[in-house]
Every structure is written in C-alpha cells, then in structure tokens.
Structure 1
Amino acid sequence: MPAFPTDPARRQWRGTVLLTSALLLALLPVRSGTPEGPHLEEVLARDFLSVHTRNTPTTYYEGRQGPTGFEYELVRRFANHLGVSLTLDADHHIQGVLDAVREEGDLGAAALPLDPTLEGLLFSRPIMLLQPLLVYRRDLHPPETIAELDGLEIGTLRGSGADRVLRELQTEHPELSWKESVALEVADLLGQVARGNLDAAVVFEHQFRLNRLFFPEVEDGFTLGKPLSLAWAFPAGRGLGLVNAANRFLDDLRRDGELDALVASYFGHDDYLEYVGARIFIQQARERLPHYAELFREAARNTRFDWKLLAAVGYQESHWDPKATSPTGVRGLMMLTNATSGDLGVDNRLDPAQSIHGGARYLRELKNRLPESITDEDRLYMAMAAYNVGLGHLYDARRITEQRGGDPDQWRDVRESLPLLQERKWHSQTRHGYARGGEPVIYVRNIRRYYEILAYLDRSQEQFHELNARLPDGDDSDVFQLVPPNT
C-alpha cells in the first residue's frame, strides 16, 4: 500500500477540505477592542525578536547551509519585516515553548495548534492546517477505522493538538486508548513505531510526509477528525501590538501568494524515493556502509566535502558495491572510467579505497573547474551533474539555458535544459552533441535524497541510543503516560 494513496477521489476530497478550510480561516477577524499595549514597542526598542521553538524538521534545524525550517523561515521574515534581529531558543518541547512564551518570550513558533482556551496566551491568525493522521507499522494488518485500533499500542505527543483530537474522538468511541509523551518529538515517535515499541501513532499529515523517507517501516493509515490550525503564540497581558503586526504580516504573505509557496516548498513536494527504494537504502546503509564509512570520511577530509555526500554519490553509482561494472566499462564503487582513473592515478578501480579517494578527487576537480559565477549549492549540484554526464554536456546545457532566457548559474534553470540534450533540435546546436540529459537530473535529485537520509540517520543515531537506554526491558513509563479507555 503506498504511503499516500493515489485514489483521485480521496486526494481531491482532501485538497477541497484543506482549501476550503484555509479560505475560511484566513477570513477570521483580528481581535479588536484591546489596547495595542507595550509589546511591539518593547521589541522595536530592544531591536530583537525573541522566539521560542522546537528543533524538528518541520520547525527549525541546522541544515547544510545554516538555520532552516518552515517556521524559522517565517519568523526570520517577520523579524526582517519589523526591522529587528532574531534570537531563537530551540531547546524546548511543546509545553516548554508555551511556558517560555508566557514567562519571557515574544513569540512561540513551534507547530503549535491554535487553542484559545489556553490561559496566558494569545494566538495569531491561522498559518496552515494540521490534519491528524494515523500511521502504523508496516507488518500489521492495515487499520481503516477507529474500531480497528482496539488492542493496538498507539502513541502521540501531548499538547501537539493530535491528543486533543483523540480526546474528542474518545467521546464517541469510549474504548479508544493511547499513550502520550511530553519528552519525544515526531521523529522519535515514528522511530518507536518502526522499532515495534508502538503499533501506531497519530501525527500530522505534513509531519509524516516530511519524515516518511526516514521510516520506510511506517505506513500511512487514515486521517482522524477535522484539521486544526497552526498558529503563533504570544503572551497575554502585554497588548495586541505584536499580535496585530504578525497578523498583518501573515495577511500580506498570504495575499501575495508567498505563504502558499513557502508551505509548498517545505511540505508540498513529492518524495522521489518510493518506500521500497528507501527501505533498501536504509538497510544497506546499516549493512554495507559501515565497511566503507571511514574511507568516505578520510576522502572527505582530503577534499573538503561532507562524507555523507560522498557516500550518497557512492550509493547512487554502485549501491556501495566495490566490484560493480557497467556495460560501458565504468567500474568500482565510485564507477570511474578508465580514462578518469588514469588521470587520477587510480591503478585498481576495484579497490574500494582507491575508488572512493579517486571519486572524491574527481568531484572536487569538477567543482573547481566550474566558473566562479556559480556559487553555493548550485555549484555543488552542477559538479554532481558533470560527474554523471560530463563537464562538456553540462556546459552545453548552460548555453541552452541562456538561449531560453534562463540563468546558467542556477541549477533550477540548468536542470530544465539538460533533458533537451536528448532532442535533435537542441543537441544539434551544441559542441558535444547528444546526451541522455534526463539522467543527471535524476542523478542529482537522488543523491540529495540519499544525503538527506544519511544526514538524518547520522544525526539521530545518538538520540536513538539515548532513547533506547531509557526504555530497559520494554519499560516506557518514563516516556509515555497512558490515556485509558473512557468506559
């Protein structure tokens, strides 16, 4: 069963519900009749906005190019809008964010569900919708109704809003029972399901979409209840000045289409690796990669690359098989050609150490040879594409990009031109002629996905060990609190 069913009726229904709800939520009025208060003036006077958040893929985390995440991007833009700097405290879980906002912070941006019943807090207009989703371990019989959850170990995060939906459902289905945690995050929860400590979990749909490649053992079940609203939290009692400023800022983003574009950028893309591919990749990352990880690290130190990026290239080339050979004669773990091997001084392409070090040096050489006008990730992606299709064909695609009015220094434009090298209309005008130009586009796309998974596994390894250490002999009483049936 695919992670997100492709049934057109279901997909259209979900889209219609979310769009309709979003339009209605956007029209909610800002609270009026309350003095603006000193809060906004305080922020402007001290020249910084203090934001409390959570360190998760959907909120804020340190990426390869620095801080990133959907809510980080929003609050960064809001701070810029106010003309102040941004200070961020991400050392929180959900309740910690709410407590910090009440006591000291300006704003909480942490995938918080809008809940006007919470004391001491005010909320912004809704930013996006949060649809609760039941996910389950792949080896179970797929549950399709709430009644089929009876007897399953289900977990969720307290205060996330998903727990509120479960409590509402329990009034109609009193036999419903689950466990709640204040100490875990979504990735931890999905890890519990994947490892068999839980049978199922309730998270939000966009959270699962962003995490599902890392947990191919976890499957999409069915949605629960009505969508909630993600919003920012502000301290009550300091007036509505900052709240109203945030609402105006969000209204402008929505009206200009920037908010929808940001949501689509972080949560709306399709995952390019299907479950089967991701499951095989993670399995081989655990079984094969340890034999070569130190070689990748050593090569990375010598060539100033992230070792996980080199490992991702190696997997895309050979699935970490040191004896791999293609019909065209490229061989070894990094699949070097005979000519390239000679240039690099690699005399045995089937030797893993020589292949990995040679491939890393070749990628560095390609990156160094690109024009200085190509910078940052665009430079890396084009070097990776050249590793696959050759530098000459990449230059041809850059020239086609210019002819078509695009920017030859931007990967997003060059990747649109590369497949045109397969069409006579275009390749007949180039210096190097025909190339299977669609392949480097897929090649770079896959490596980026493999890198994301390796980065996640590397980042989470210590966290998972710590969590497992807290669960001796299956005792999870310090992590979860049981919500019993209401009977």
Structure 2
Amino acid sequence: MRIGISHIRATIIENLFCRSKWQQIFKHNHKGNLFYFIVLFTLAFAGCNQTDTPPPPPKPIPAAQKSGEIVVMTRNSATAYYENADGNFVGLEHDLAVLFAKEVGLKIRFVVAKKFDDIIPTVQAQQVHFAAAGLSITPAREKKVRFSGPYQLVQQQVVYNTDFPKPKAMKDLIGKNIEVVAGSSYVERLSEAKKLFPALSWKETQVMESEELLDRLGANKVEIVIADSNIVDVAENFNPNIAVAFNFGKPEYLAWAFSKDADPYLYEKSKLFFKRIKKDGTLKRLIDRYYGHVDRLERPDIVGFLDKMNKVLPRYRRMFQQAQESTGIDWRLIAALGYQESHWDPLATSPTGVRGLMMLTGDTADRMGVKDRLDPKESIAAGAEYLLDMREMIPGRISEPDRTLLALASYNVGYGHLEDARILAQRQKLNPDSWSDLKTTLPLLSITDYHSTVKHGYARGGEPVLFVKNIHTYYDILVKFEKPYKPMLPKFNSQLLANKER
C-alpha cells in the first residue's frame, strides 16, 4: 500500500510534537516504500529538535564596572559617529562618549544601529549600556527609557524644496508626499498633528538619517521632509534649493538613553559629566566644532560655489592634489582656501595689492619663491606651503581640528595678531588653544580698549572668524562631492579638519 499525501501531512504534524516517531514511520512503511520512508525519517528527526517554547531572550550585557568596558549604541551619521579620511572615528556623539569613558576610567566600544527604530528596543533589552545617537527627549520615549542630562537643544522643522510654493502651516501639508525616518520623534509629532488634521499622511522610511531624506528633497524625489534643525543647517549647505518652511512644535533637547532597569552607576555618572562639561565650556567647544560654521553662507553663495565646483575646479584639481603631495594638507582644504580667497580666479587682484588664485601678498610671494603670482600652479603651491608654515607655528600641544583652524586664521590675519587674540583669551579665562574661544577674542582686536594692550595692535579681527567659517563650509561641501586624494608617497598623514570628513 502506498502512503497518500494527506497521510504524510498528518504524520508531519504528529512528528513535530515528537510522538512515537519511529512507530509511525515503520507502521506506514511496511510495504517498503523507501522514498516515503526517507521523507518521514527526515521530518521526524527535525521535529524532535523543535520545542513549543520560543528561545529565551538574550541576557543583558554585564555592568560596565564589572566588564571594564562601556558599550554604546550610536548612528553612522555626520551628527553622531562616522569615519573620517584618515580612518579615525569622529562626530559629536563619539567625542562626548569617549570623553565620558575617560572620565569614568573605562574602555569604550561603539555599536552602530542598523535601523533607527532598533535603538530604543536595544537599550531596553540592555544589550548596550546606553545610546548616544542624537535622540530627542519625548514623552513617549520617557516611558521606555531614562535620559541623561540634556546637551543640545534642537527644533523640529518642516523642510520644502524652494522650486515649489512654500507651505505656511500644517494644513498645507495635507496631500503632500512627506517622508520621515521610521521610529523617529517626527513620527510621534506627526501622529499628534493628525488628531487635528485627520487627512494628514506620511511615509516612514527605514533609511537611517534625515540627511539622506533631505538630499532626496533637494533632488525633487520627495515634497516635504521633517528633520531637526542641526541636521537641516548642515544639509542646506549641500542642497541650496531646500529651506525651512516653518518650525514644527516646540524645541526638544537631545540626550543619551539608558535602560530603566540597568545598573544606575553610568546613568548617575552621566548626569555629573554633562553638568561639568557645560560649566567648564567643553560642551560649547564640541558643539561649535561640528556646527559653529554651518550658518554663515547665504544660499546664493552656496549655489555659486556648487556651480564653480563643477565648471572651474576641474581645471585646477590636479594642481591642488600636487600641493597635497608636497604639504600633506588635504587638497580639498587647499581648494576651499583658494575659493575663499579668489573664487578660483587666477587673475584676482585686491585693492590692497594681494594677487592670484591664493591672493598672496608681495612679501609672502617673495618668501615662498613665487615668480609670478598670477600663475595658478605657482600660487596654489605657495599658498599651501604658507598654510603649512602657519600650522607648524601653532604650539604642538594644540590638537586637531583647532590646530588647522588657528592656522587658517593666521593665514588671514597674521600670526602676530593670532597670538594677541590668544593673550586676550587668557586674560578672560578662556582657552587660548580653542578656536571656539578665539572666535570671541579675535574681534576684540578692532576695539581700542583691547588692541592697545597687546603687542601687534589693531586688526580687523572679525574678518578671520568669517574667513575660517566660510572655508570650513566649502571644505565640507568638497568632502561630500569630491574624492580624497591618496598620493603614492604622502609627506605625512594629515588630519586637517578631519572631524568633518564623511
């Protein structure tokens, strides 16, 4: 007798519960049907290894004090954690977490979330000690986790493409193609808005970053994006045709997220940590490092830069790369400096007599051995060497990116005036080695009560502040769109402005 398909199904069901498997197999195989014997034997054997209960949840990781290591979940993002051109990890969240680990005397290991909406559940399951991922404090999240002291205030914003009419209120978003990151606080706020505007709809996408959605917005692939103001500020420099339509709700604070059931040691330490770095200015300097330059350029400036990046830069790209070969300075930084000086015009001349693509003075050109300041190759090479000279004059104890930012300021205003600004910083109990603090004291060099008390006297100190900010922004844009150059025999491994490499 042959075994029918219906009988096989019944036997499979019984075998999944491991009930008298061998008896079932031999009972229905007495006619020697080898094929069905093999099928049932395989199913029976597999069924024996199954159970009625699901696998147990993973155990929480050991307390940091016990393991000697802090495990932190973060996001691979320009506002959180990313690898720069030199292979080093940087980012605001990275820098804060590393400082915190150093303060509590523990090692640190970062775990990058694959999806944004994995972050809170992973914290709740205690598979990490906390999340440093640019999470805003919201009522819904506070029911699931507990937050450290806040460290940055952001505003949710409705962003649109300026090629189309500007929406003025939430009602104008009805029927629009809106995209937000799944699991983000934007979803919570949209859900609240939907109570007032039932026709409001949106798409929750699994991309990790709002920055990607803002790029899509700039490319006319979506109509509306909601994102935090710090992310929008950065994205506007890469997408000049996007803008803020209006603010969405009240500002929110960002903070680290901890499990409510975890060992409270790190949580309590984090509150003390943020209290300290707010008081001593460390937090201000870190935020300024990543965001202090993003709001200077107007939209026409960005449009003009992007246009010349495509049309003019190709003529000089190889010259900038050759300058990197001789100095070790990232060619994109040299190019950003050149654009700030002349908009990559090799014939540029100022009323004060500085000339050429890198706008060299006569004295500087003589010092650098330049025969013709209007020769772009000579000008670029000399400008890069002069920037390197300025950088090497900065005290060796000053780390990057401050070292290069100070060198850029010196390129503009002169090393003597930079030193005067550092003296003023000391007098005001600020950090003379921090660009964030020198941005406060450099403008004082134009005020008699201050410049009369230092060696080199008056200077238009506000100019180098704007000069450096603009270069930083141009550099960011070049990093996004232009590939790094890796010469065969680099002079040294530069980390100039490395914290902004994506």
SS of the equivalent of 2:243 reads: strand
Which of these residues, 315, 326, 346, is aligned with residue 291 of structure 1?
A: 315
Asked if the contact 2:285/2:434 (under 8 Å) is kept, the reply is no
Pair 1:59-2:59 in alignment = no
Change (3 A) 1:117 1:219: closer
Counterpart for residue 464 of structure 1: none
Structure 1 contact 120–235 (Cα < 8 Å) conserved: no
State the Cα distance separating 1:174 from its structure 2 match: 2.2
Q: Do residues 253 (structure 1) and 277 (structure 2) align?
A: no
Q: How far apart in 2 are the matches of 1:308 and 1:125?
A: 38
Q: With structure 1 as the length reference, what TM-score do the two structures score? A: 0.73
* Residues 95 and 375 of structure 1, relative CA distance in 2, 3 Å threshold: closer
Moved more, 159-168 or 88-97: 88-97
Show the counterpart of 1:313: 337
> Quick one: which amino acid aligns to residue 368 of structure 2?
L
Q: Is the 8 A contact 1:336 1:355 kept in 2?
A: yes
Residue 111 (str. 1) matches residue 134 (str. 2): yes
Match of 2:384 among 348, 356, 360: 360
Offset of 1:60 from its aligned partner? 1.9
Deviations 1:21-64 (A, max 9, x none): xxxxxxxxxxxxxxxxx968632221101112111122223458
Alpha carbons of structure 1 residues 41 and 274: separation in structure 2 relative to 1, 3 Å: same
Kept in 1, the 8 Å contact 2:145–2:258? The answer is yes
Q: Indicate conservation of the 8 Å contact 2:149/2:274, yes or no.
A: no
Q: CA shift at 1:252, angstroms?
A: 6.2
Change in Cα spacing, 1:180 to 1:420, as seen in structure 2 (3 Å) is closer
Q: Relative CO higher for 1 or 2, CA cutoff 8 Å, sep ≥ 6?
A: 1
Task: Please give the alpha-carbon distance, in whole angstroms, between the structure 2 residues aligned to 1:252 and 1:397.
Answer: 30
Match of 2:287 in 1: 266
Aligned letter for 2:134?
Answer: A
Aligned CA distance change for structure 1 residues 120 and 223 (closer, same or farther; 3 Å): closer
Cα distance in 1 between the residues matched to 2:393 and 2:136: 49
Q: Aligned-residue CA RMSD in angstroms?
A: 3.7
Cross-structure match for 1:139: 163
Q: Is the 8 A contact 2:402 2:435 kept in 1?
A: yes
The Cα shift of 1:251 comes to 6.0
For 1:355 and 1:231, locate their aligned partners in 2 and report how far apart those are by CA, in whole Å.
Answer: 47
- Picking from 173, 185, 192, the partner of 1:149 is 173
Q: What's the secondary structure of 2:63's corresponding residue? A: helix
Distance 1:126-1:394 versus aligned 2 partners, 3 A rule: closer
Deviation at 1:197, TM superposition (A): 0.6
Shift in alpha-carbon separation, 1:354–1:249, aligned structure 2, 3 A: same
In the alignment, residue 56 of structure 1 is paired with which amino acid?
A: S
Q: Could you tell me how far 1:400 is from its partner in structure 2?
A: 5.7
CA distance in 2, matches of 1:434, 1:257: 33
2:147 aligned to which of 102, 124, 134: 124
Q: Name the count of aligned residue pairs.
A: 420
**1:258 Cα shift?**
4.8
* Secondary structure at 2:128 match in 1: coil
Question: How far, CA to CA, are the matches of 1:332 and 1:203 in structure 2?
Answer: 41
Structure 1 Cα separation of the partners of residues 444 and 142 of structure 2: 59
Counterpart for residue 183 of structure 2: 159
Q: In the TM superposition, what whole-angstrom CA distance separates every residue of 1:43-95 from its partner, at most 9, and x where no partner exists? A: 22211011121111222234589544333344334434543211002252313
Q: Identical aligned pairs, as a percentage?
A: 35
The 3-state SS of whatever aligns with 2:360 is coil
TM-score (norm 2): 0.71
Q: 1:367-416, CA deviations, whole angstroms, 9 ceiling, x for partnerless residues? A: 33455565544442333223223344445555666677766555455554
- 1:339 and 1:113 mapped to 2: Cα distance? 53
List runs of 5+ in structure 2 lacking aligned partners: 1-58, 485-502
